[in-house]
Amino acid sequence: MQAEELLNTSRSLGEALRASESVQKYLKALADCEADPEAADLEKRMLAMYNELITRQQCGETLTRNEIDNFNTLKRQVYQHPRIAERDAALTLVKRYFAEIADEVNFPLGMEFPTLAQAAKV
């Protein structure tokens, strides 16, 4: 009975969060961003360049000034892209809202639910 109640309450919290304005705005911004080929390509290129540079650096190679400048230019392009900026701004609001909601869970526990939920060892 308790497990079922826990499951229902968790689901009901999730559904209430999904219906909230901040989550709705974020999900829309995320879908818009994923549907924009330019935004998707920019992020893909940035991730590929980051992985390549970090791998070379970890192997002891010194990166040139030009390579670092190129990466920073691409990073700026990514974060200035309107769809990506919209998605990131919407996610920031979701995070603020989720932290407030988590406080309501934390209070009766006297501990941080998010921290404990992410600390499990397999």
Partner 1 sequence: MDLQLNPMPVPAAVKADPRQAAQALGRLLRQTPEYEAFLKELNVVNNHPAVQKISTQMRSHQNALRWFQGDMDDHEASLARLETELEALAVVQGYRQAENTVSQMFTEVDSVISQAAGVPFAANAKRSGCGCGG
Would you tell me which residues interact with partner 1 (CB under 8 A)? 2, 5-7, 9-20, 23, 26-27, 91, 94-95, 98-99, 101-102, 104-109, 112-121
The residue (of 67 and 88) whose beta carbon lies closer to partner 1 is 88
Provide the 10 A C-beta neighbour count for residue 33. 20
Provide the 10 A C-beta neighbour count for residue 30. 16
Least gap, CB of 65 to partner 1 (angstroms): 27
> Most distant CA pair in the chain: distance in Å?
63
What whole-number distance in Å separates Cα of residue 82 and Cα of residue 88?
10
The residue (of 7 and 47) whose beta carbon lies closer to partner 1 is 7
Least gap, CB of 95 to partner 1 (angstroms): 5
Which H/E stretch holds residue 94? Answer: helix 82-109
Least gap, CB of 10 to partner 1 (angstroms): 4
Least gap, CB of 24 to partner 1 (angstroms): 9
Short-list 81, 78, 57, 79, CA closest to 67: 57
The residue (of 28 and 45) whose beta carbon lies closer to partner 1 is 28
Return the amino acid letter for 98. Answer: F
The residue (of 19 and 59) whose beta carbon lies closer to partner 1 is 19
